[in-house]
Amino acid sequence: MELIEGIRYNYSGLKLGLKTPSLLALGLVRFGVILILSIAAAWIVLANHSEIMSLIWQRPESLWIVWMWYAVSWLMSALLAGISAMLAFLLSQVLFSVFVMDAMSRITEKKITGRLSATDGGSWFRSFVFLIRQEIPRAVLPVLIALGLMVAGWLTPFSPISTVVSSLAAAVFLAWDNTDLVPARRMESFSSRFRLLTGHLMFHIGFGLWFLIPVLNMLFLSFAPVGATRYYIERFDKKSVS
């Protein structure tokens, strides 16, 4: 069952990453960057929660409703802190993590097959530009859409269902962000890579379920390229496995 397979591959990738020195070093660097940016973004929001709340709702004078102002204030701060942490993650993803993810994917592929698959032979700069171009539609926009659905869900009667669906959507897109590393490096067409997502949706749901667990999600996100690369190589490049 692909759902179980997705859960297993992400977990096995984490174990392989922790046992391989080069992957461990890169994974810890990525984990540190995500953690620092997320904490910094959340701290900025929480440190200025009174000022932010004042822009939305001035503190009432009546003691009968001031408690409601405090409750809404901290609830709004928690929401903004969560959104800020997500945006910080996306910032690190575009500006930094894409290179670490590709490096981890290359190391994993070489470890499994004994070699790297051939690319189109383009220059380093062309590969650099290509990676950045792929990261925007592949990771940033889908996660922002899922985040928007989550926020919108809080404002509708179907908010519990909408929140679950949007969370699963974010997990799926984050999983695809990792399973897409090898075919993107080989510069396969976007349509063929998108078919990988839609054709194996249950796998991506299972792979992304780890990303929904607070605190642990940052650890699994940091080493997700290992399990995703292993999945692609073993599932679609069986002849390459040594």
Domain ranges of the chain: 2-234
Cβ–Cβ under 8 Å, residues 31 and 39: no
What pLDDT, on a 0 to 100 scale, did the predictor assign at position 25? Answer: 93
- 20 pLDDT above the threshold of 80: yes
What pLDDT, on a 0 to 100 scale, did the predictor assign at position 160? Answer: 62
What pLDDT, on a 0 to 100 scale, did the predictor assign at position 200? Answer: 94
What pLDDT, on a 0 to 100 scale, did the predictor assign at position 203? Answer: 95
- Across the chain, mean pLDDT equals 77
> Which tens digits make up the pLDDT trace of 123-180?
566 666 666 666 666 656 666 666 676 666 666 665 666 667 777 887 888 888 889 8
> Which tens digits make up the pLDDT trace of 100-110?
888 899 999 98
For 114, residues 6+ apart whose C-beta sits below 8 A from its C-beta are 242
CA angle 195, 199, 200 (to 5 degrees): 120
- 11 pLDDT above the threshold of 90: yes
What pLDDT, on a 0 to 100 scale, did the predictor assign at position 21? Answer: 93
d(CA 30, CA 17): 12
- 30 pLDDT above the threshold of 60: yes
- 62 pLDDT above the threshold of 80: no
Q: Which residue has the higher pLDDT, 199 or 71?
A: 199
Mean pLDDT throughout 202-228? 88
Q: Where are the alpha helices (DSSP H) in 93-123?
A: 98-113
**CA-wise closest residue to 30 among 89, 100, 87:** 100
What pLDDT, on a 0 to 100 scale, did the predictor assign at position 82? Answer: 62
d(CA 122, CA 69): 58
**CA-wise closest residue to 92 among 38, 23, 146, 25:** 38
Mean pLDDT throughout 193-207? 91
> Which tens digits make up the pLDDT trace of 33-56?
878 877 787 777 777 766 766 666
- 196 pLDDT above the threshold of 80: yes
